[in-house]
């Protein structure tokens, strides 16, 4: 396959490298499996590139440190896994309330509670419906390979700065800890540089900047929320991403993201060999969710099978898109269980 500067690297480390290439120079983390490789990688790489690495006293201190670096105008990131991400929800809501860019990486694991360290996708609601308080959204990107762990992290920083918004990379334990050859074209990737006149850098030569989310005056918070909602619809228009595979003549379309999408794609190939017209739709941006693009696959009688490593969360968005629950089916495994090809194919066979 030719060298093309490819290295064998875990998804966690690829994600870290993507951040470095995007110009991220502040990372605060805390140990939690299955994302530890990312924290360790940043502890080494940040020193190499003259950035700041802090192992914080907790995940919620880490997100607040990211708030500090971001309010000072720097590209900042934190990462964790499910329980740790729950601790960061307040911080994410504050970032949204101040319209501060930041990238948060969740390498999901089995839940709820301490759960286990196997992969999971049961934080979908938390990520896409906003796990913290208030009307806000983080853009949520779901990689399905080590290459995408690198590339989507780069994209995440661009989206974060472009819209002054939080962006979540939603991976899982499989994507984080497996190794794949990754094309590291670091030198050619040029991160977009954006002026940040709003940042707190000391009021030399300008009026002081105040960045806060407490808006007490009559109607002030509602006005801010109106502005936020306008931003979210702009993001939905510009940043919705998905992948279609053999859906043109499909009678049944498998819908999955991340690790579940890799398995579903393999099923479609197998089903096609068994002369079943199966197709596959992968949402890449889980927020903004590709409702219209999913709906466009519906030819009236098309059947849909949603595959998740959860008790069924993305299925609710699929139902919203298809608007005909009878034709939307679900297969999921919880608590760290991973759906196998055989189980999915057996499920397809059972769908009339």
The least distance separating another protein from the CB of residue 196, rounded to whole angstroms, comes to 12
Host H or E run for residue 168: strand 166-172
Q: How far is residue 76 CA from its own chain's centroid?
A: 16
Q: Which of 28, 38, 103, 182 binds another protein (CB under 8 A)?
A: 28
**191 scored as a contact of another protein (CB under 8 A):** no
Instruction: Provide the 8-state DSSP code for 166.
Output: E
Distance CA(15)–CA(145), nearest Å, equals 10
Of 210, 275, 301, 352, which one interacts with another protein (CB under 8 A)?
A: 210
98 binds another protein (CB under 8 A): yes
- Complex with another protein: residue 24 or 38, whichever CB lies closer: 24
Minimum CB separation of residue 55 from another protein in Å reads 10
43 binding another protein? (CB under 8 A): no
- The binding track of 54-73 with respect to another protein, each residue x by CB under 8 A or -, is x-xxx-xxx-xxxxxxxxxx
Report how far residue 95's alpha carbon sits from residue 141's, in angstroms, rounded to the nearest whole number: 18
What's the min distance (Å) between Cβ of 337 and another protein? Answer: 35
Closer to another protein by Cβ: residue 116 or 225: 225
- Residue by residue, DSSP assigns 23-71 as T--EEEE---TTSHHHHHHHHHHHHHTT-EEEE-SSHHHHHHHHHHHHH
What are phi and psi for residue 141, nearest 5 degrees? -110, 135
Q: How far apart are CA 172 and CA 109, in angstroms?
A: 6
Using CB under 8 A, which of 16, 25, 79, 174 touches another protein? 25
Q: List CB contacts of 141: < 8 A, sequence separation 6 or more.
A: 152, 155, 156, 167, 168, 169, 170, 241, 284, 285, 286
Tell me if the bond preceding 112 is cis, omega within 30° of 0: yes
- For another protein, the binding residue among 40, 200, 221, 266 (CB under 8 A) is 200
Cβ contacts of 262 within 8 Å, gap of 6 or more: 144, 145
Q: Which two tokens stand for residue 161?
A: 């700065």
Q: Which is nearer to another protein, 76 or 345 (CB)?
A: 76
335 binds another protein (CB under 8 A): no
Tokens of 17: 């490298």
Is the CB of 72 or the CB of 191 nearer to another protein?
Answer: 72
Q: Is residue 94 a contact point for another protein (CB under 8 A)? A: yes
User: Please, which residue, 62 or 107, has the CB nearer to another protein?
Assistant: 62
Neighbour-count burial of 204, counting CB atoms closer than 10 A to its CB (0-12 exposed, 13-18 middle, 19+ buried): exposed
Q: How far is the CB of 39 from another protein (least distance, A)?
A: 16
CB of 116 to another protein, least distance (A): 26
In this complex, which beta carbon is closest to another protein, that of residue 90 or of residue 341? 90
**Contacts of range 62-65, beta carbons closer than 8 Å, 24 or more positions apart:** 62/28, 62/29, 62/30, 62/88, 63/28, 63/87, 63/88, 63/90, 63/91, 63/92, 63/95, 63/102, 63/104, 64/91, 65/26, 65/28
50 sits near another protein (criterion: CB under 8 A): no
**Residue count at the site for another protein (CB under 8 A)?**
40
Taking the complex as a whole, the smallest distance from the CB of residue 85 to another protein amounts, in Å, to: 16
304 lies in the site for another protein, by CB under 8 A:
no
Q: Which is nearer to another protein, 94 or 331 (CB)?
A: 94
Q: Compare residues 130 and 279 and give the one whose CB is closer to another protein.
A: 130
* Residue 204 is a binding residue for another protein (CB under 8 A): yes
Residues of the shown chain interacting with another protein in the complex, contacts defined by CB under 8 A: 25-26, 28, 52, 54, 56-58, 60-62, 64-74, 76, 90-91, 94, 98, 200-205, 208-214
């Amino acid at each position: 396959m030719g060298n093309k500067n490819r290295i064998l690297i875990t998804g966690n480390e690829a994600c870290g490298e993507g951040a470095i290439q995007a110009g991220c120079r502040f990372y605060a983390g805390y140990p939690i499996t299955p994302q530890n490789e990312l924290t360790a990688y940043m502890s080494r790489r940040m020193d190499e590139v003259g950035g700041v690495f802090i192992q914080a006293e907790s995940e919620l201190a880490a997100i607040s440190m990211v708030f500090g670096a971001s309010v000072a105008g720097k590209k900042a990131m934190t990462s964790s896994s499910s329980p740790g991400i729950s601790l960061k929800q307040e911080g994410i809501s504050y970032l949204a309330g101040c319209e501060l860019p930041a990238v948060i990486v969740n390498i999901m694991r089995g839940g709820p509670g301490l759960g286990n360290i196997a992969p999971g996708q049961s934080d979908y609601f938390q990520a896409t419906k906003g796990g913290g308080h208030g009307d806000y959204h983080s853009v949520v990107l779901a990689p399905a390979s080590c290459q995408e762990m690198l590339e989507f992290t780069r994209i995440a920083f661009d989206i974060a700065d472009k819209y002054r918004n939080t962006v979540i990379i939603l991976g899982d334990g499989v994507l984080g800890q497996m190794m794949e050859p990754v094309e590291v074209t670091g030198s050619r990737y040029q991160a977009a540089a954006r002026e940040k006149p709003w940042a707190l850098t000391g009021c030399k030569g300008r009026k002081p900047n105040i960045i806060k989310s407490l808006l007490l005056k009559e109607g002030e918070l509602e006005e801010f929320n109106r502005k936020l909602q306008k931003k979210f619809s702009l993001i939905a228009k510009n940043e919705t991403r998905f992948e279609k595979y053999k859906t043109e003549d499909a009678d049944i379309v498998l819908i999955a993201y991340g690790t579940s999408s890799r398995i579903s794609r393999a099923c479609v190939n197998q089903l096609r060999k068994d002369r079943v017209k199966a197709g596959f739709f992968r949402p890449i941006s889980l927020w903004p969710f590709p409702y219209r693009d999913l709906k466009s696959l519906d030819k009236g009688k098309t059947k849909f099978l949603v595959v998740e490593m959860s008790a069924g969360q993305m299925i609710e968005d699929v139902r919203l898109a298809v608007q005909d629950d009878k034709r939307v089916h679900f297969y999921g495994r919880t608590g760290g269980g991973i759906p196998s090809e055989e189980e999915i194919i057996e499920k397809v066979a059972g769908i009339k």
